Amino acid sequence: MTDADERDPCAVAPAAPSPNAPVEVAIALIWKGTDLLITRRPAGVHLADFWEFPGGKRHTGESFERCAEREVLEEVGIVCRAQRTRDTIRHEYAERSVVLVPVDCVWQRGEPQCLGVAAWAWVTPRALSDYSFPEANRALLAALSRGGGRPGSVTG
């Protein structure tokens, strides 16, 4: 008997991901002491010129923690260690929907570079309101600004 003979003739092939499926993104909240790393999105991309926390799209089978670590290295060239995830944020933009998973990380080594970002800054959580962030970040920024910052379990 061949593999073809053993297949279920009624089985349905897995569906391709929907073009309207939400984009899953890890957001790295990188703590260095009491400061957080923020980056500015480059011109010519979705939400260009807004400030954000580094991060990016999760690969199939990749954890959000590993995604955050990988994206930080790719975007700013520093090494961080993921500590924990925070509550998921779901947001609908006119052109796409996103699922954002904030990941608390601790800075390990390296100085930020503009590898995939237009600019970067280390800022205190209270200073976040001085920067323009995408709408999807509103609740997270509010929590960080009112003291929902660096978790006690993160050391660095």
Instruction: Give per-residue pLDDT as tens, 10-22.
Output: 444 434 455 678 9
CATH number at residue 140: 3.90.79.10
Domain-embedded: residue 66: yes
Domain-embedded: residue 74: yes
Distances from the Cα of 129 to the Cα of 1, 53, 88, 108, 146, angstroms: 66, 13, 21, 26, 11
Q: Which residues pair with 27 in a beta bridge?
A: 55, 102
Quote the longest CA-to-CA distance of the chain.
68
What predicted TM-score, i.e. pTM, was given to this entire model? 0.81
Q: Please return the burial class of 116, using the count of CB atoms within 10 Å of its CB with bins 0-12, 13-18 and 19+.
A: middle
Query: pLDDT tens for residues 83-132?
Result: 999 999 999 887 778 899 999 999 999 999 999 999 999 999 999 999 99
Both tokens of 7, joined, read: 């297949």
pLDDT tier, 4 (very low <50, low <70, confident <90, very high otherwise): very low
Domain-embedded: residue 107: yes
Domain-embedded: residue 5: no
Residue with tokens 């947001």: 91
Rounded Cα distance, 31 and 124, in Å: 10
Domain-embedded: residue 16: no
Structural domain boundaries, residue 30? 21-145
Domain-embedded: residue 91: yes
**In the chain, how many domains are there?**
1
